[in-house]
Amino acid sequence: MYMHTKDTSHLTPYQLNYWRLYYDPVPEGAIAPNIFFTTKDTVDVGEPFRFGIGFKNVSQTQFDSIKVKLSITDRNNIENIIPIPKQKDLLPNDTIKLEVNVATQSLAGKNILFVNFNPDEDQPEQHVFNNFAFRNLYVKPDSLNPLLDVTFDGTHILNRDIVSSKPDILIKLKDEARWMVLNDTSLLNLHIRYPDGSLRRYYFNNADTVRFTPAGQAPNPDNTATVTVQPWLQQDGEYELIVSGKDRSENAAGNIEYRVAFQVINKPMISNMLNYPNPFTTSTAFVFTLTGSEVPQNMRIQILTITGKVVREITKDELGPLHIGRNITEFKWDGTDQYGDKLANGVYLYRVITNLNGKSLDKYKSSDDNTDKYFNKGYGKMYLMR
């Protein structure tokens, strides 16, 4: 402040008795990372980004509730405003500890975080140059494809295999991104083509037929969503299952849809049962095909000498898990009798006995089945050669 007076007539300028200044003091604040600061340079996509920083009132005048602007400029140079509520009134020498969790699902790549206290001079302040800060943030993108796995009654089938007319189809979609949990039904599409050529889409609003189980809470190292489909396929013939899946980052489970054709035969039947290998030295398994919608309640294999004496009877429980379609038993016969004693080398006969709802199963024979020549009146022949 300056004052200049002069008197050109009497050369006696006025003298100043007093000079009084009135003013309303304004506060002054500054970011204070030395008091409070927390952040990361890099996070996985989907992982919440926790950012915290302090702001201190370094004056003797109080701030009213302070406005804060927080934004993240992504790799496409698009500014994303993060809503922040107004902070508390800030007394002299008091500090605000701002803490924010930022969702990163859509921020893959390089980002710049900007934080500004009292932006646009929302309230009077002595200086604003020390109210803001920038911070680089890299969000690691999810560039790997999810894995899709499909089983029928717990088995991976081959194309055109026979399955149950009431199959339990289990579809698993697994992704390595532990923060981007698979919890949305839109990630999977399911269709079945029927023998008449019609294509039916299975939706997730039918709890009796289709059940979706999400992956669970993040972070989830086993990020797997499952779909259980239990249709009733009443037409005999060839069907086709068509499944497509993707993860939360839009990575597809494959360049093309998963497709597998399968056959349904509603009548309960059993094919000729073969043992493999044949001849055998140490052990042999049994190979056969079942049709229909359910496995026989009772099933056993009798092994006989060439004179007709039963030396070993293998029960259904011993055979292990069975399913409609092609079966290779977990059970391996080791050439011993009912008491565990080793049998002599030579030729043995075997036959299978089944029971479903009080009836034995009819014989199933496919168009390319030429195994009848190995059987005589339902009896097969095996060779034990130690």
Beta bridge partners of 289: 326
* Least confident interval from 15-29, 69-83, 264-278: 15-29
Q: pLDDT confidence of 3, banded at 50, 70, 90? A: confident
Secondary structure string (H, E, C) spanning the chain: CCCCCCCCCCCCCCCCCCCCCCCCCCCCEEECCCCCEECCCEEECCCCEEEEEEEEECCCCCECCCCEEEEEECCCCCEEEECCCCCCCECCCCEEEEEEEECCCCCCEEEEEEEEECHHHCCCCCCCCCCEEEEEEEEECCCCCCEEEEEECCECCCCCEEECCCCCEEEEEEECCCCCCCCCHHHEEEEEECCCCCEEECCCCCCCCEEEECCCCCCCCCEEEEEEECCCCCCCEEEEEEEEEECCCCCECCCCCEEEEEEECCCCEECCCEEECCCECCCEEEEEEECCCCCCCEEEEEEECCCCCEEEEEEHHHHCCCCCEEEECCCCECCECCCCCECCCEEEEEEEEEEECCECCEECCCCCCCHHHHEECCEEEEEECC
Distance CA(257)–CA(170), nearest Å, equals 16
Average pLDDT over residues 85-104: 96
Q: What pLDDT, on a 0 to 100 scale, did the predictor assign at position 370?
A: 87
Domain coordinates in residue numbering, the chain: 29-140, 147-264, 269-384
Please, which residues have CB within 8 angstroms of residue 309's CB and are 6 or more apart in sequence?
none
Contact 363, 270 (CB under 8 A): yes
Q: What pLDDT, on a 0 to 100 scale, did the predictor assign at position 208?
A: 67
Q: What pLDDT, on a 0 to 100 scale, did the predictor assign at position 51?
A: 97
User: What is the topology classification, in CATH, of domain 269-384?
Assistant: Immunoglobulin-like (2.60.40)
Q: Which two tokens stand for residue 142?
A: 């999810």
Sign of CA dihedral 150, 153, 159, 164: negative
Same CATH topology for 147-264 and 269-384: the answer is yes
Average pLDDT over residues 223-237: 94
Q: pLDDT confidence of 10, banded at 50, 70, 90? A: confident
User: What is the topology classification, in CATH, of domain 147-264?
Assistant: Immunoglobulin-like (2.60.40)
Give the architecture (CATH level 2) of 29-140. Sandwich (2.60)
Distance CA(77)–CA(109), nearest Å, equals 11
Q: pLDDT confidence of 200, banded at 50, 70, 90? A: very high
Distance CA(259)–CA(253), nearest Å, equals 13
Rounded to two decimals, what is the model's pTM? 0.80
